[in-house]
Amino acid sequence: MNTIPARHRIVVIGAGYAGVMAAIRTARRTRRHGGRITLVNPSPAFTERLRMHELAAGRRLADLRVPDMVAGTGIEFVQAWVTAIDPALRRVTVRTGEGEHALDYDTLVYAIGSATGPGEVPGVADHAHTLDGPEAAARLAARLTGLSVRGGTVTVCGNGLTGIEAATEIAEAFPELRVVLIGREPAGRMMGERARAHLARALERLGIETRDGAEVIKVLPDAVELAGGETLHSDACLWTTGFTASPLAADSGITVDDRNRVVVDAALRSVSHPSIYAIGDGAAIPQPFGVLHGTCQSGIPSGAHAADSIGRALRGREPRPFRFGYFHQPVSLGRKDAVIQFTHADDTPRRALLTGRSAVVYKEFVSASPPVTYRISRRLAVPLAFLSPGSRPAPRPGS
C-alpha cells in the first residue's frame, strides 16, 4: 500500500521585513517539495518600521496588510502571539482570542525582531516614548500635537540614525516645539565628513539643539537628567537607543547572545537547535567584519537566504553560508531633505553620497521598496545580489 508522504511543516514567527520575505520566498522555494508554510504574527497589519518617525510626526501611512501580501501563495496566516517554543518537541505555543493552542513544526523560522530597551536607565519605561510600533508612534504624535498648541520641549535621546530621523521629522512638522537631540557621540558619527557637514546644516536649519557627548542617566516626568548633574526640561521624551531582542528565544532554551539575539551559524541556523533558522534583528548573524546590526537592509536578505536554505534542505542539499555587505546609510531629514551615505561592505563610509532632493527621492524609494519586493518575489526568485547589493557571492562548497 502506498502512503502519501507528510508535508514538511514550516512555521515562520514574526511578520516584519525579514519574516514576510522568508515566508513568501519559502513558499516559492518549497512548492514542489511538499512545504506547508504557516506565518504567525500578533497583528494582520504590516508595520513599516522605516516610517515610524513619519507616523510620530502626524503623517498617515498606507494601510498594508500581511494577509494581502501572502494571499495566493498557499501560506496560512495565523493572527496570534507566540508565548513559548519547545525545541525538543518542535512545537510553538500561540495565543489567539480563543485561547492557547500548539503549532508543530519541522522547521521554524524565528523572525521576531527587537524593541527599544530601557537598559538600566531609570524612568525610561515609565516616562519616555518609543517608536516600537504604530501604537507607540501614534501616542507620541498625539502628545506632540497637544504640545504644539502651547509650545514645549521635546528631547530625543539617542542620536543614531533613528534619533536623527525622528528629531528632524518632529522639528519640521512642529516648528513651535523646541527639539533637543542628545547622544553620547557626535550625531552622524558613522558617516563621512561631507555627509556629517550636510547633517549639521540640516539640524541648524531646523533649529534642533544638539547635545553631543551627553549621557542621559534618568528620565523624569518633565525632564531628563544628564551625567554630570545637568537637568533638561522635557515635555516629551523620545527614547531611540538600546535595542534588544525579545526574551522568547532565551526563555525557550535557545542559545542567545547578551542582547537576546539567537546565535546562528554561517547558514543562519541556531547553533543549539539546527531545525530553527533565525533572521533579521532577532538573530546574531556573523560576518567577517562582525555581527550584523539589525536593519531592513540586512533583514530582507537574511529572510531570503533562510528560504533558499530550507528549499535546498528539502532537496537533500546543504545550505550555503550567508554573505552580506552593507551598501548605504539612507537618512531622511524631514520631508524636504535627506542624506545618503554610500558605504563599504563593513558599513564604513565611501566618498559617494547624495543630498537634497535627489536624496529624498532615493530615501523614499528605499522606504517603499519592501512591499514591491514582496510582490515581485511571489512570482520570481529575486537574486540575492539584487536584495543585498553590497554583499559578496557566497562561496560554493569546496571552492
End residue of a domain, out of 189, 206, 239: 239
Which pLDDT tens digit goes with each residue over 187-214? Answer: 999 999 999 999 999 999 999 999 999 9
- In 3D space, the residue among 261, 277, 258, 259 whose CA is nearest the CA of residue 269 turns out to be 277
Does any domain span residue 397?
A: no
Does any domain span residue 56?
A: yes
Which CATH number belongs to the domain containing residue 284 in this structure?
Answer: 3.50.50.60
Tell me the C-alpha distance between 336 and 25, whole Å: 35
Does any domain span residue 378?
A: no
Region 310-317: mean pLDDT is: 93
Does any domain span residue 375?
A: no
Neighbours of 263 (CB within 10 A): 18
- Whether 207 and 151 share a structural domain: yes
- Whether 83 and 139 share a structural domain: no
End residue of a domain, out of 198, 220, 239: 239
CB-CB contact of 340 with 183 (8 Å): no
Tell me the C-alpha distance between 131 and 154, whole Å: 14
Tell me the C-alpha distance between 356 and 361, whole Å: 9
Contact partners, residue 325, CB within 8 Å, separation at least 6: 287, 344, 345, 346, 388, 390, 391, 392
* pLDDT surpassing 90 at residue 4: no
Does any domain span residue 277?
A: yes
- pTM beyond 0.85, yes or no: yes
- Whether 105 and 151 share a structural domain: no
- Whether 149 and 104 share a structural domain: no
**How high is the pLDDT of residue 188?**
93
Contact partners, residue 43, CB within 8 Å, separation at least 6: 66, 79
End residue of a domain, out of 198, 213, 239: 239
The range of the structural domain enclosing residue 91 comes to 8-115+243-325
Which pLDDT tens digit goes with each residue over 204-243? Answer: 999 999 999 999 999 999 999 999 999 999 999 999 998 8
- Whether 96 and 183 share a structural domain: no
Does any domain span residue 138?
A: yes
- Whether 200 and 105 share a structural domain: no
- Whether 109 and 254 share a structural domain: yes
- Whether 152 and 69 share a structural domain: no
Please tell me the least confidently modeled range out of 25-34, 140-149, 284-293, 297-306. 25-34
Q: How many domains does the chain have?
A: 2
The 8-class DSSP code of residue 174 comes to -
**How high is the pLDDT of residue 117?**
72
